[in-house]
Structure 1
Amino acid sequence: MPQTAAVIWADGPATSPYEPQKSDIRDWGTWIEGIISAFLGNGGLVYTSQAALFADLAHAANSSAWVIGDANAALNGVYMKVGGSGTGSWIRVAELPYSFVKLIDAGAGTANAIQLTSAIPTSASVLRTSNVFEANTGNVTISENGGSAKALLTNSGNQIAPGGLVAGMMIVYVDGGSAFRLLSDQASAAIQAAAEAAAAAASASAAAAAASAAGVNLPAVAANRMLVDNAAGTLRESKTFSQVMTLLAGAVSGIASAFSLDNNTLYKVRSLKDRWLDSYRLAEELNFTGGGVTATDAAVLQALFNRAKAAGRGEIILPRGDIALEAAVSIFEDGTRPIRIVGQGPNQTRFLNTSASQKLFNIGDAAQARTKDMTLEGFQLYAAVAQDNSGRGFNLRNAQDITFKDILLESMRNGWALGEGASATNDVTYVSIENCGANSPGTSATPIVLLGSGGILQIAGSAYRWNASGGHDFMQHINTSWNWDGLYVYGQHFEHFAKYLRSTGKGVVNLIWTGGQMDRADIFFQCEAAAGGSNRNWDIHDIQMLGFSGQGGGIGFTGSGPTEQIRIKNNVFNGLSDAAIYAATGEVFVTGNEFIDCAYLGASAPSGGAIIRVGQGFARITNNVGRRSSGSPGVAYRYGIQWDGAALATRSSGPTNSNVWYNFGASAETGTM
């Protein structure tokens, strides 16, 4: 086989062109002539369809023929005869010997579904060229000579961008199998046209700007000022920063008023670049430090809340600093648009009281529609003035679905009042206290959490501890007309409250108190339902109740109202100085608890002390264990269980050895079960 034409006529350097040898040219030409002669010698067989070729077998073996124009483009090609004349078959041996095919886009299709035609058929091996009839507006497909449409993609395999094909341009592409692919990426003509248009527009704009600037009379340059278009839109004026901020405040709030950076004044501004575009943001520049009798923060914050509610905003963002409230801020929201009031975190944003009996926040009110769907988050209440028994942090009535998150009470003895003095129609329901806490030293007759009429309170999370230094209770239910239905306390850590739960009203029903630790108390749970009431369906489990320095009993059930369905299980009672569990009446089920070094203390300790003491009621006490160490506070304890009064069939301590008591002064049990 001679050398190829590309080798024979290869380019040489511009200064020394390559001269091919005539012998190489003669060899190549002779080879080409031989191929042509062989084809013509066979009669130059050409058929317009494969079917026409297959119908003509009257040719010798190894005869060749071309199929050109079959409707199925894949059937076009070079064929060879197998078998003698009149017998055998034709087999396809090669593509038609075309290196490229020119196609025409006459506009028969659409801008994005192009239909091309050609005088000779295409195949998978040929290079294609075509004009573009009109610019595309989206993804492009091509159909050749009526065949199936396939996507036309860029060289890198992506869809053609809108305008990537421009009317009148030429494209070169190949068949990639599942899609056609451009040999170059999207039309440089389109890119070039866009660049030229942009350059022309920029030039025109610059000329216009220069002409416009020549006719503008701007104010003189001055330090710390800004240019502002006037209200009429006719000229620009030079304004100070304070003047600009006053204009901004009026534009956002709709209230035209002078603006000043006053440390004791809150103001409202909506930040256009804030991550919450529906928020009212209180400026970070202000440093709230209180102000005693001169404080006006409550009035300004009240006005802010009212405007936020009226405008349908969903959030108020508080700044860092101290905010002294001269009166209660009253928050009413009917749930049409849930609202969130959020500070920068405890010890960052602080609300201060200015009088002992003050309520800092009133949430809901009997005279308003029921307040719903509100979140208060990320700030601290601080008693700048020591609270008396009437003071409150958050006072809730006629409200539901209220959430407190990351709230810390510092020196506040009375934190939350839920439904205090409320009837069944303006009670408080569905309140969540999450990741909150209190450090509340001092003495008070009011607890941290006061329960009145309502239900469903959840206290969860463990970001902060609860501490009272023994001066008051953590939680009390006081309403004698209405009970509290649903109390759920999970995994909290308490230190030194007088009592953790005291139920002296009509009663708490449906309670789960679980997890965490209670360290020191006069009595941990004191349940004394009023006449006509009931403490019912309680589940106290998996808690550590720790005594200290002669403090406290565990769980006591007395009072005029009954005790019903009380379950006490899997708790640890350690170092208590009074009965760990005392049920004068009612229904108690005590199982799986551990009692360590619990006893009456000192010389005055009664001789009949017992860990569990049960009166006339319904009781089952099983699988508990108790021990006292030598020389421990438990030396005065004599019994594991004491049964008071006459024998009752409804009292049981389970099977023999169900409860185990070690190192107690007398027998495991005393009295008649």
Structure 2
Amino acid sequence: MAQNAAQVFRDYVVQGVPSSGPHNPVKAEIRSLIGGIESLVNTGGLGGATWKETRALLAADLAHDADDIGVVYDDPSSENNGLYTKVGAAGTGSWRQITTFLPGYQFITASDDGESIPNAYSMNTSPRLPYADGVALVEFVVPETNTSSTVTISFDGAEPLTIKTASGNSPAIGGLIEGMPISGVKVGPNFYMRSDQASAALLTQAEGLLLDMQDELASAVINLTEQTEPIRDAAQAAATDAQMYAEMVGAAVYDFNFDSDPSTPGYDWND
């Protein structure tokens, strides 16, 4: 299979794995890559290329001169899409793949194929998503709000990719909101969003925490009221009893201190 620039000039022996050691580009792969680009430049772009829907259709059309450009744009196997050069004279030879993507077609639109569920999205792409990693920006509209932090997305029936934020974290529950536009790239087994986290999801989480705190506060007030009401009632009863006792004592003092002057009731302070 033809390799693109990201593969030929990758940083490590195993792409994305630093522990595998630094990768030294192979001269033959460099010549193949640059040779394809030179052929593309010499033909003046893709305007004069032979466009075929599938690799099989291109392989069946050998009526082209050596180094002519061919394009496969909608093969069911995404790794077959891309640019090809003709090997051999007209009527003979074969087509050699030089890229797994189409120059100028690095913006891919994906749409729900009707099989999506909240935590597993299923999409069709147009033009078809390239096989190589990181060579195309994909945009789609979230079909279902996620109810788990683990969410996958499958393009054109291929193996599901795990959706990650730009920093490599899992999206928050409720962070992928139905109707929200998302863009990102495929890298290995993951689909990385361009954004780190949806602010709307964070706001929703903050609002949920606020409601929880309000509920806790209301519950605490009810519990405190239930605990203090008996104390308050007892205090009020004791105060009432004290007042009644004071009134009774006052009455007794009034009754048992005889007045020397009956015309002026009360204690005769002059005696």
- Partner AA of 2:178 in structure 1: A
Match of 2:143, as an amino acid?
Answer: F
Change (3 A) 1:134 1:89: same
- CA distance in 2 between counterparts of 1:202 and 1:150 reads 34
Aligned residue number for residue 105 of structure 1: 112
Verify the 8 A CA contact 2:116 2:143 in the aligned structure 1: no
For each residue in 1:433-489, what CA deviation from the matched residue of structure 2 results, as whole angstroms up to 9, or x when unmatched? xxxxxxxxxxxxxxxxxxxxxxxxxxxxxxxxxxxxxxxxxxxxxxxxxxxxxxxxx
Q: Which whole-Å CA distance do the structure 1 matches of 2:183 and 2:226 have between them? A: 58
SS of the residue corresponding to residue 125 of structure 2 reads: coil
CA distance in 2, matches of 1:48, 1:228: 74
Deviation at 1:67, TM superposition (A): 0.6
For the residues of structure 1 that align with 2:231 and 2:82, how far apart are their CA atoms?
A: 77
| 1:175/1:238 CA distance change after superposition, 3 Å | farther
TM-score, normalisation: structure 1:
0.25
CA contact (8 A) 1:164 1:190 kept: yes
Quote the Cα distance in structure 1 between the aligned partners of 2:144 and 2:42. 43
Is 1:48 aligned to residue 53 of structure 2?
yes
Assess if the C-alpha contact under 8 Å between 1:133 and 1:167 holds in 2.
yes
Q: Which amino acid aligns with 1:121?
A: R
CA deviations 1:178-198 (Å, max 9, x no partner) are 222122223222113333566
- Structure 2 SS opposite 1:192: helix
1:96 paired to 2:98? no
Structure 1 Cα separation of the partners of residues 164 and 90 of structure 2: 47
**Secondary structure, aligned partner of 1:164:** coil
Long gaps (5+) in structure 2: 1-40, 235-271
* Greater relative contact order (CA < 8 Å, ≥ 6 in sequence): 2
Residue matched to 1:364:
none
User: How far apart are the structure 2 equivalents of 1:190 and 1:230?
Assistant: 38
> Could you tell me which residue of structure 2 aligns to residue 148 of structure 1?
159
Please show how residues 169-208 of structure 1 align to structure 2 within 5 Å. 169-195=180-206, 201=211
Q: Distance in 2 between matches of 1:101 and 1:190?
A: 25
Aligned length: 186
| 1:84–1:146 Cα change, 3 Å | same
Structure number with higher strand proportion = 1
| Structure 2 residue aligned with 1:63 | 68
List gaps (5 residues or longer) in structure 1. Answer: 1-33, 217-226, 240-673
**RMSD of Structure 2 on Structure 1 (CA):** 3.5
- Which protein is bigger by CA-based radius of gyration? 1
Q: Distance in 1 between matches of 2:224 and 2:46?
A: 87
CA contact (8 A) 1:62 1:80 kept: yes
| Aligned pairs for 1:206-605 within 5 A | 237=232
Percent of counterpart pairs with the same letter? 34
Q: Partners in 1 of 2:157 and 2:204 — Cα distance?
A: 32
Task: Name the structure 2 match of 1:79.
Answer: 84
For the Cα contact (< 8 Å) 1:132–1:165, is it kept in 2? yes
1:533-572 per-position Cα deviation (integer Å, ceiling 9, x unaligned) = xxxxxxxxxxxxxxxxxxxxxxxxxxxxxxxxxxxxxxxx
Cα deviation, residue 132, structure 1 = 0.4
Picking from 114, 119, 123, the partner of 1:116 is 123
Q: Distance in 1 between matches of 2:123 and 2:141?
A: 9
Give how far 1:234 is off. Answer: 5.5
CA 236–92 in structure 1, closer or farther in 2 if over 3 Å, else same:
farther
Whichever residue aligns with residue 133 of structure 1, its letter is P
Distance 1:229 1:173, change over 3 A: same
1:59 is paired with a residue of what secondary structure? Answer: coil
Task: Work out which of the residue numbers 155, 165, 170 in structure 2 matches 1:159.
Answer: 170
Mapped to 2, the partners of 1:147 and 1:228 lie a distance apart of 59
